[in-house]
């Protein structure tokens, strides 16, 4: 169709519509493995099974991550970002669902249990192996209490504001 527009230097398709329909109906379609003009009442069941049977479903998918694994998400590097900076987020997520596709994809939840929108490929995820409970603080927002009962409202590095929490001063270490 676009070749016709270019060759004839026009955007008027009404003149070529019968030829376009004929060409479409007399070309083999990959989804039904035949020409639409060749589909009849006798072979419609065969065409239906070709189109809708389970041969398109991915079987025996090998997953790299299990449900419950903790992972980080890869960050896209822009043109002028330094190569020595980490390529993965600071925030930790949990695999909530494995989806059998080729390649397999995963649904994730944040540490609050809130489901993230979209799915993620294995290459976009990095499994967390060590079980450190040490998280970096971006900044201390507020202070409350006195003496041994001091608490700080902290903003965690790499986490959204919904994860800001009050932490006892005794649990904060300067590294």
The DSSP-derived string for 21-65 is HHHHHTS-BTTTTB-GGG--TTTHHHHHHHHHSGGGS--SPPPSS
Predicted confidence at residue 160, as pLDDT, reads: 85
Predicted confidence at residue 40, as pLDDT, reads: 93
Mean pLDDT of the chain: 84
Predicted confidence at residue 29, as pLDDT, reads: 92
Q: Is the pLDDT of residue 75 over 60?
A: yes
- Of residues 144 and 174, more confidence is placed in 144
91 closest CA partner among 112, 63, 120, 119 = 112
The whole-angstrom separation of Cα 96 and Cα 119 is 11
Predicted confidence at residue 111, as pLDDT, reads: 85
pLDDT band at residue 78 under the 50/70/90 scheme: low
- For 2-12, b/e burial (b = at least 16 CB within 10 A) is eeeeeeeeeee
Helix (H) or strand (E) holding 7, with range, is helix 2-8
pLDDT digits (tens, 9 = 90+) for 35-64: 999 999 999 999 998 888 766 566 678 899
Q: Is the pLDDT of residue 79 over 60?
A: no
User: 70 exposed, middle or buried (CB, 10 Å; 0-12, 13-18, 19+)?
Assistant: middle
Is there a contact between 72 and 158 (Cβ–Cβ < 8 Å)? no
């Amino acid at each position: 169709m676009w070749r016709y527009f270019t060759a004839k230097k026009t955007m008027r398709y009404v003149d070529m519509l019968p030829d376009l329909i004929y060409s479409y109906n007399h070309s083999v379609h990959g989804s039904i493995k035949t020409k639409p003009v060749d589909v009849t009442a006798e072979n419609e069941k065969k065409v239906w099974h070709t189109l809708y049977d389970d041969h398109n479903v991915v079987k025996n998918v090998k997953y790299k991550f299990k449900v419950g694994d903790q992972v980080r998400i890869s960050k896209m590097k822009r043109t002028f970002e330094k190569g020595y900076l980490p390529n993965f987020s600071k925030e930790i997520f949990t695999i909530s669902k494995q989806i059998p596709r080729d390649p397999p994809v995963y649904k994730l939840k944040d540490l609050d249990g809130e489901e993230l929108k979209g799915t993620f490929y294995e290459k976009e995820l990095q499994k967390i192996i060590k079980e450190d409970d040490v998280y970096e603080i971006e900044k201390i927002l507020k202070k409350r209490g006195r003496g041994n009962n001091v608490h700080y409202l902290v903003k965690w590095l790499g986490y959204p504001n919904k994860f800001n929490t009050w932490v006892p001063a005794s649990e904060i270490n300067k590294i």
